[in-house]
Amino acid sequence: MDYETVIGLEIHVQLLTQSKMFCGCSTRFGAPPNTQTCPVCLGLPGSLPVINRRAVELGLRAALVLNCTVHPSSQFHRKNYYYPDLPKNYQISQYQYLEHPPLATDGYLDIEVDGQRRRVGIRRVHLEEDTGRLVHPAEGAVSWVDYNRSGVPLMEIVTYPDLRSPQEARAFLLKLRQVLQYAEVSTGRMEEGTLRCDANVSLRRPGEPLGTRTEVKNMNSIRSVERALAYEVARQREVLERGGAVVQETRHWDERRGITFASRSKEEAEDYRYFPEPDLVPVEVTPEWLEEVRRSLPELPDARRDRIMAQYGLGRYDAELLVQTRATADFFEAAVAAHPSPKSIANWMLGDLSAYLNEHNLEIDQLRVTPGQLAELVRLVEEGTISGRIAKDVLVEMLETGDSPRSIVDRRGWVQIADEGALRETVEAVIRDHPEPVRDVQAGKEKAIAFLVGQVMRRTQGRANPALVQRLLRERLGLPPQG
Amino acid sequence: MRELVGRPYHEIRPRLGKDLSVRELVDAYLENIARLDGQVRAYLTVSADQARAQARELDDRLARGEPLPPLAGVPVAVKDNLCTRGVRTTCGSRILEPFVPPYDATAVQRLREAGAVLLGKTNLDEFAMGSSTENSGFFATRNPWRLDHVPGGSSGGSAAAVAAGEALAALGSDTGGSIRQPASLCGVVGLKPTYGRVSRYGLVAFASSLDQIGPLSLDVRDCALVLQAICGRDPHDSTSVDLPVPDFVASLEAGVRGVRVGVPAEFFGEGLQPEVRQAVLEAVRVLEGLGARVEEVALPTLEYALPTYYLIACAEASSNLARYDGVAYGYRSPRAHDLYTLYARTRAEGFGPEVKRRIMLGTFALSEGYYEGFYKKAQQVRTLVRRDFDRCFQTVDVLATPTSPVAGFRLGERTADPLQMYLADVYTIPVNLAGLPGISVPCGFVEGLPVGLQLVGRPFEEATVLRVAYAYEQATEWHRHRCPLLRA
């Protein structure tokens, strides 16, 4: 009998605010240690927190795109524990406690795996503050604390245990990242720590109650979440098949070794002694505010994909790729607006452009090429000014210099040779210099003509119009026009 | 310059810039501190140089003909749990002995902006936990009226400083009576504003949902003046309330004719010293004589107030005081050798016994399995206490009660028995639980020790409380008495 995999995720997302959750300090990443701090985020005696309205607004945006119920009044709590990266030795968080709900609860996000649509329940969305960062130098028996990150706004998203495979977990994270990026809530980059994910995983016989779960931590990319879960599922399966029992514990993912291992277990469960934060008043969300936030949300990826398919006549696969990020979809629609050839533009974007992005590990909004320039390139090809072959070289130069395709073509003299008189001379020369292939062609081996076309192209540095060359060669060698 | 000391500001102010400079006034107070504080021990830190510099600056402004700010030249003392930029702020605790804040508490900043001159920082029970100032991590303060008696607490240093002419006015903090009870024991005026009236930003938190900053002064008019300066919404404190602040001084003289004064029977029962009872009831008769209508009211939840308070205050304190860990500031144990001993030894060596007791009580009250029975239950009782007051205020405008059940007690008399010490605040604590404004004004003496009358009003009706207190004060002479030490 087989086991069913049950996975739930806890995701921490850094919100795209200018300032911290409870003070005015900057959230900019990479500043020298402890330069973005004040009495509040240092937890100095007497300091008090004040809620960042923008952070609540981003929380509301996330709650809406995750189809959650937003609570008109929610409360912050204190989570009490000692650690040197936590200056107050309590974290201000919206842990769901008793009668006090968090910002939003009970939503969902639809994902697709292998063509199957699945609905993943969202248990809750809440706001909290980040901790500082400990730095352990290689030398010396000291540790340093950098409080720049202390108080940076975080949103925690907790799913119901609705995921049934590591692949689904991966699909969920990709989808979550996509909608959060669309809603401009977060950059959602696991590699940069703006999205962090812990996973609860257990196995059970179908129809039976949930099995004992382990919590897997320390994954730093969506791929490593999938790998870690696959490892952990296999490990638990082996334990169960041996007749053993899964131990409820926290396990760390070791990316290099590709395994999870149990972290030092505490003697007893930690008691965080949650209680309502008396220094803050409840977060009140009026229906008017919520409506205002709802109105400011952009078109979400699924809706945009469907519209792009209908409006531009693209296939589902291409449309799906084009809406992968909001910036890609924006780029596409801006280019189409400049030159209405959606299919060609999509082909360029999903082909050469996408290859270049992957090769250089760039995002589309980091490109030097503008949508208008790509549109111009497509137009130059369609107008016959350059060949499709040359266009590839033009694009490479556009990507490197940021120059417009027109100016590159002019500078390089890459305008297509469509002058029959000029080409005839080259055709004569090629025929003269390659008697063998010419005989082959005349003997009926029509394929050999491709070689001759290639020679003409070579002598014109690719600028000849290939169709014209083909016609001239065939005329000259007495072949019927191509059908 | 001795004659300047111990006189209310409203008597001094007309002379400023004429026959009296701010510098002279401040020097007179600094001299009196030098003369008396060896006996009273009200101050933990005297910032004389900064005070003189500030006085000079004010004199320069006066010389330039600039208008006098409302508290120009008032030599003030500030309880040492209020952050003062560049001046050590210890909270009366060894654990914060080296701490110099980089910022001013909002109330301190507002005092400075109003022209007050900061003389120094006053002693308190460690982290404001106590009723006698004997829990200070440094030394005990004495009652200027009788040096073998306590000044009350936790704002004992501030109350003693005002009573001994070591400050013209002072700031204290009041979590369960810590302004009113020492004001009563030291024979001065002390007011706890409505919760939310004065910003708590920069007040080192003891119990966040109960703490309020307020003034201590020689009389009600000075009290109104200082309150005026520190009140009002502060964007740095989410719990500070955005309500208009009335002109407290302007409404002082409206009298009490027709004002309904409630006398809750529960505040006059067992445990009340008979002479105190007599003095307070006599004060009520004075108000009646002035045209107030007196009626008896009931506050049956009084008996639950004390345990409720200790659960809530200790629970919040256990979390508020977690930050004193030796990591980023304050005392760090030299005997720490890893993270655990850094925490454990720093806190074991830095905190005194009463603070430890309350941290443990509060930690327990919040622990899993006990939260419902203790912390949550206490919050529910707190709601009942609040409702009791609400009901009273449907029929009366103010409540009149004793501030303290006894006129005073000797140093060491109650230190061995925490419960006896806690009972010192039995009449003031319910007012904090309900978040109401309360004042203590002198209303008599028992064996040379002052007695205080407590007046409590509806939320944000400080003006009414001050007006009734002022009417009483003007009809009596108690507020003109000065302690023998100051007269000597």
Residue B76 has phi, psi (to 5 degrees) of: -110, 150
Domain presence at residue B366 = no
Check A90 against B83: CB less than 8 A apart: no
Quick check: A149 and A133 in contact, CB under 8 A? yes
Tell me which of B89, B201, B338, B345 to substitute to probe the interface with A (most A C-beta atoms closer than 10 Å).
B201
Check A49 against B235: CB less than 8 A apart: no
Alpha-carbon distances of B120 from B50, B191, B198, rounded to whole Å: 9, 20, 21
Domain presence at residue B359 = no
Provide the pLDDT for residue A98. 60
Dihedral angle sign, alpha carbons of residues A206, A207, A209, A215? positive
Euclidean distance between CA atoms B258 and A176, whole angstroms? 66
Report residue B192 CA to chain centroid gap: 7
Q: Is B375 on the interface with A (CB under 8 A)?
A: yes
Question: Averaged over B267-271, what is the pLDDT?
Answer: 93
Check B202 against A47: CB less than 8 A apart: yes
For B361-398, the pLDDT digits (tens) are 999 999 988 988 999 999 999 999 999 999 999 999 99
Euclidean distance between CA atoms A13 and A189, whole angstroms? 9
A196, β-bridge pairs? A12
Residue B186 has phi, psi (to 5 degrees) of: -100, 0
CATH classification of the domain holding B135: 3.90.1300.10
Euclidean distance between CA atoms B28 and B308, whole angstroms? 45
SS3 assignment for B284-304: HHHHHHCCCEEEEECCCCHHH
Nearest Cβ partner of A281 from B83, B235, B239? B239
Which domain does B189 fall in, by range? 2-266+277-298+390-487
B262, β-bridge pairs? B295, B399
Q: Residue B1 — pLDDT band, cuts 50, 70, 90?
A: low
Alpha-carbon distances of B115 from B69, B75, B104, rounded to whole Å: 6, 9, 15
Q: Residues in chain A whose beta carbon is closer than 8 A to a beta carbon of chain B?
A: 39, 42-51, 78, 80, 82, 84, 87-90, 98, 145, 147, 271, 273-275, 278-281
Instruction: Work out how many domains chain B is built from and give that number.
Output: 1
Burial class of residue A230 in the structure, from the number of CB atoms within 10 Å of its CB (0-12 exposed, 13-18 middle, 19+ buried): middle
- In angstroms, the separation between the Cα of residue A47 and the nearest Cα of chain B is 6
Q: How many CA atoms lie within 13 A of A43 on its CB side?
A: 30
Residue B85 has pLDDT above 80, yes or no: yes
Domain presence at residue B370 = no
Check A273 against B368: CB less than 8 A apart: yes
Domain presence at residue B122 = yes
Partners of residue B83 in chain A, C-beta under 8 Å: 44-46
Nearest CA in chain B to A92: B319
Q: Which residues of chain A have pLDDT under 70?
A: 1, 96-99, 264-269, 483
Alpha-carbon distances of B308 from B46, B314, B430, rounded to whole Å: 37, 10, 9
Tell me whether strands B117-122 and A104-113 are parallel, antiparallel or unpaired.
Answer: unpaired
Partners of residue B82 in chain A, C-beta under 8 Å: 46
Euclidean distance between CA atoms B458 and B434, whole angstroms? 10
Provide the token pair at A396: 């490479």
Neighbours of A257 (CB within 10 A): 9
Report residue A233 CA to chain centroid gap: 26
Residue B236 has pLDDT above 60, yes or no: yes
- Mind giving me the DSSP string for B439-480? EEEEEEEETTEEEEEEEEESTT-HHHHHHHHHHHHHH-SGGG
Nearest CA in chain A to B235: A50
Quick check: A232 and A165 in contact, CB under 8 A? no
Closest CA to B9 of B266, B197, B320, B217: B217
Q: Is B205 on the interface with A (CB under 8 A)?
A: yes
Q: Please, which residues have CB within 8 angstroms of residue B86's CB and are 6 or more apart in sequence?
A: B50, B100, B101
Euclidean distance between CA atoms B162 and B218, whole angstroms? 7
Q: Is B200 on the interface with A (CB under 8 A)?
A: yes
Report residue A252 CA to chain centroid gap: 24
Domain presence at residue B64 = yes
Partners of residue A273 in chain B, C-beta under 8 Å: 318-319, 363, 366-368, 371
For B99-120, the pLDDT digits (tens) are 999 999 999 999 999 999 999 9
Domain presence at residue B373 = no
Provide the pLDDT for residue A267. 46
Residue A410 has phi, psi (to 5 degrees) of: -65, -45
Quick check: A459 and A418 in contact, CB under 8 A? no
For B2-53, the pLDDT digits (tens) are 789 999 999 999 999 899 999 999 999 999 999 999 999 999 999 999 999 9
B231 DSSP assignment: B
Amino acid residing at A170: R
For B218-232, the pLDDT digits (tens) are 999 999 999 999 999
Question: Averaged over B459-476, what is the pLDDT?
Answer: 98
Rounded mean pLDDT of chain B? 97
Euclidean distance between CA atoms A14 and A163, whole angstroms? 23
Residue with tokens 């509301």: A60
Domains of chain A: 4-291 (no CATH), 299-412 (no CATH), 420-477 (1.10.10.410)
Provide the token pair at A227: 């790998």
Check A278 against B208: CB less than 8 A apart: yes
A2 DSSP assignment: P
Largest CA distance in chain A: 98
- Cα-Cα end-to-end distance for chain A: 63
**Which residues of B are known catalytic residues?**
79, 154, 178
The interface predicted TM-score (ipTM) is 0.96
Residue with tokens 């005092």: B111
Provide the token pair at A250: 């926290």
For B388-415, the pLDDT digits (tens) are 999 999 999 999 999 999 999 999 999 9
Domain presence at residue B17 = yes
Euclidean distance between CA atoms A414 and A176, whole angstroms? 45
Own/partner contacts of A448-451, CB < 8 Å, gap of 24 or more, are A449/A473, A449/A474, A449/A477, A449/A479
Q: Is B314 on the interface with A (CB under 8 A)?
A: no
Provide the pLDDT for residue A29. 86
> Peptide bond preceding B154: is omega within 30 degrees of 0, i.e. cis?
yes
- Cα-Cα end-to-end distance for chain B: 14
Domain presence at residue B307 = no
Percent of chain B, pLDDT > 90?
97
